[in-house]
Structure 1
Amino acid sequence: MYEWDFIPVLTETGFLLAGFRNTLVLTATALSGGLVVGLVLAFARLSSRRWVRFPADVIIEVFRTTPPLVQLFWFFFGLPIVLAVEMTPFLAAALTFTIQSGAFFAEIFRAGIVSIEHGQWEAAKAIGMRYNQAMRRIILPQAVKRMFPSMMERSIELMKTTTLVATVSYADLLFQANELAQKTFRPLEVFTVVALIYFVTISIFSFLASRFERRLTRSGEFSL
């Protein structure tokens, strides 16, 4: 019978929390960058100019259809060879997950924008609004409310996907857990604690997102 012993793990809580902090930093970096990249790619894909639309199509399809682990390896091992630049684990991971999440966010943004009725555009044009004014004041505020659930789901998936950075020796929570498991010879206990950390964190994030979504729905307002 296996005897569970969490004492060796709990005494190294600081070691795991250091990795968890790195996970949060990477997730926040990729999420904020991904939203910006996604918005730019969405506008590019909606452009009537083919020379603007085609590169966005390629980036979106490549990063949505290839495994994130392959992308991470390519940025970490391949990019330094191609461009002769120094690549740290954090930089490679940040670039990978920023562009990858941006590709998914681009489709969410695009779907939200095109879901707005054409009459909204016509009304904005009738009162003399330019394209960017109509987009900022009328279209995007309505689209964001429709996109919010998908964006939250994608953000949660992003946090779980960042566990792949352990393969390039970035000291995230999973990397620290591997080190601690080898040190304590208690892998079941270590990864049970890691699972609980992710469960609690994502549950809190989901709860706050749900409350914000309900508040947004009740108020009917969202300003940019």
Structure 2
Amino acid sequence: MDYHFDFDFLHGKLGLLLSGLKITLELTVASNLMGLTLGFLLCLVTMSRWRFVRWPAQMFIEFFRCTPALLQIVWFFYCIPMMFDFFIAPVPLGILALGLNVTAFNAEAYRAGVQAVPKEHLDACVALGLRPWQRTFYVVLPQALRVAAPVLMTNGIGALQQSALVAIVAVGDLMYVGSQLATESYRPLETYSLVALIYFALSIPASQIVRMVERRHDLSIQR
């Protein structure tokens, strides 16, 4: 391979990459907060005793789990303004699309955690006279979070990686800025390698935390 890497073209361009990185982090953090919050609420809805409440929530989850994230992003950016005749700024719309996707996957992770709560604990809540909301937020949620934490964190890393898909609809994230630099400089190998390293540097600490949480969870089960 007779190719010489040359990163001189990045001189004066790091500010653009940082601005793209800032938007990527905004998309990731906001969509994860949305997914963590709405995911638990959606989980509770899917476990409702009433079918007319449960089925729409289940259809929501299946739609976002069974269609490509790229298609969802394109649909949100182009179809929603046409159907409802209103426009949302690109970054909030990206957060909405990514956040709903994470919500669907987190709801399933929460559901597994809720189902792992021992029935005896729920019986104790009834015996103590706790109200349903007290039982949910003081007993069920902490235990469900403990079980679901590794999957939730893995979904969070996935949200970081999927945030690069918004580049296709011209949101100025890290991937979009990298694509522009690669086109302008005619140095795609260096540019995309650098962008990949940035994503890797952001993801690897989170993946290590996931492994640590999984080990602690396994140890707690063995005790």
The alignment's TM-score, normalised by the length of structure 1, stands at 0.91
Q: Which consecutive residues of structure 2, in runs of 5 or more, have no partner in the other structure?
A: none
> What's 2:154 paired with?
153
> What's 1:55 paired with?
56
Q: Does residue 98 in structure 1 map to residue 99 in structure 2?
A: yes
Q: Offset at 1:156?
A: 0.3
Q: Offset at 1:213?
A: 6.5
Deviations 1:14-65 (A, max 9, x none): 2111101100001111111111221121110011111211110111111110
Deviations 1:57-82 (A, max 9, x none): 11111111011111111111111111
CA distance in 2, matches of 1:13, 1:204: 23
Confirm or deny: 8 A CA contact 2:36 2:106 kept in the other structure: yes
CA distance in 1, matches of 2:51, 2:152: 27
CA distance in 1, matches of 2:89, 2:69: 17
Confirm or deny: 8 A CA contact 1:145 1:217 kept in the other structure: no
> What's 2:128 paired with?
127
> What's 1:137 paired with?
138
> What's 1:205 paired with?
206
Confirm or deny: 8 A CA contact 2:149 2:213 kept in the other structure: no
> What's 1:107 paired with?
108
The alignment's TM-score, normalised by the length of structure 2, stands at 0.91
Confirm or deny: 8 A CA contact 1:76 1:88 kept in the other structure: no
Q: Offset at 1:189?
A: 0.4
Confirm or deny: 8 A CA contact 2:65 2:104 kept in the other structure: yes
> What's 1:194 paired with?
195
Equivalent residue letter for 1:65: C
User: How much identity, in percent, do the aligned residues show?
Assistant: 35
Aligned CA distance change for structure 1 residues 10 and 116 (closer, same or farther; 3 Å): farther
Deviations 1:100-132 (A, max 9, x none): 110111111111101112111112211222222
> What's 2:68 paired with?
67
Count of residues in Structure 1 that have an aligned counterpart in Structure 2? 220
What are the within-5 Å matches in structure 2 for residues 15-26 of structure 1?
15-26=16-27
Aligned CA distance change for structure 1 residues 219 and 61 (closer, same or farther; 3 Å): closer
Root mean square deviation, CA, Å = 2.0
> What's 2:175 paired with?
174
> What's 1:42 paired with?
43
Q: Offset at 1:216?
A: 8.2
Name the SS for the 2:48 alignment partner: coil
Equivalent residue letter for 2:187: R
> What's 2:78 paired with?
77
> What's 2:7 paired with?
6
